[in-house]
Amino acid sequence: MSNYTEISFTSDDGLRLYTRDYPATSGPARLPVICIHGLTRNSADFDELAPLIAALSRRVLAVDVRGRGQSQRDPRHENYNPVVYAGDVAKLMHELGIARAVFVGTSMGGLITMTLAAQHSDMVAAAVLNDIGPVLSEKGLARIAGYAGKAVALGSWDDAANFIKDINQCAFPDNSDAEWGKWARRAFEQIEPGRLAPRYDPNIAIALQTGKLRPTSLAARMAFRRLAKKRPVLLVRGELSDLLEARQADWMRRAAPGMQYVEVPNVGHAPMLTEPAALEAIAHFLATVP
């Protein structure tokens, strides 16, 4: 039996979007937490973290961003951008009567969080940015562009696990075969007997492949400064990350001296947030916000 309920809602432009809703355990009412995944990922990435946060007396919503997981694919690929994604999150909050929330954003999810804070500052009470910031490494962007959106059809779950391992082992050198298998079932779906495909629309990667997603921009830097100036922020960085390297993290820490920071050892982009160092930092962070 799943420990969440499923929510479907309609975006402002008519797409059916999906969210997992994990109820808070008993205890004093706390602000809910909204978890947003990375570029090619989906809400299943939080299937271990979300129940742990819910046990801290917080409702947790883990979204499938449009074009991923069980959310509908957008026929207009130009809509696959953080401004539209942030609007979808705002719509979800409005539909559920949530005025403010704490955000956990992995990679692209962190960019969405920064964008939402720039558009609707009052909606973001605090934020955990997972291996992401307004200044990124071209090395990491190039690596992700090398596989994101590329056509791949696999014949078995073992094939899918091996594929996931091939493109991610540099970031997770300690993963076991069981962990790669679990990751594969989050990332792929069986579309017919003997054929698996990624659980996302390949068009989500067009902006990255065409160079429209830049390693830095003035707007991104301003959005981050606004986010970190007005509310508590925790930056989680993978020690081996090639997207948010040490020098980019150092820039963020200088730009936001009050920001909390944790580095997850022997993990690259992006930590799953179930690592002991990440869990401890997130629990401590959540204890300090409403």
Per-residue pLDDT of 163-207, as tens digits, reads: 999 999 999 999 999 999 999 999 999 998 999 999 999 999 998
* pLDDT over 60 at 15, yes or no: yes
Q: In this prediction, what percent of the chain has a pLDDT beyond 90?
A: 89
Q: What is the pTM of this model?
A: 0.96
* Interhelix angle 177-187/157-168, nearest 10 degrees: 100
Q: What is the pLDDT of residue 213?
A: 66
Burial class (CB in 10 A: 0-12, 13-18, 19+), 181: middle
Q: What is the pLDDT of residue 239?
A: 98
* Tokens linked to 49: 């973290």
pLDDT tens readout for residues 126-153: 999 999 999 999 999 999 999 998 878 7
pLDDT tens readout for residues 27-73: 788 999 999 999 999 999 999 999 999 999 999 999 999 999 999 99
Q: Write down the domain spans for the chain.
A: 5-137+214-287
Top-confidence residue, 21 or 216: 21
* Topology given in CATH for the domain delimited by 5-137+214-287: Rossmann fold (3.40.50)
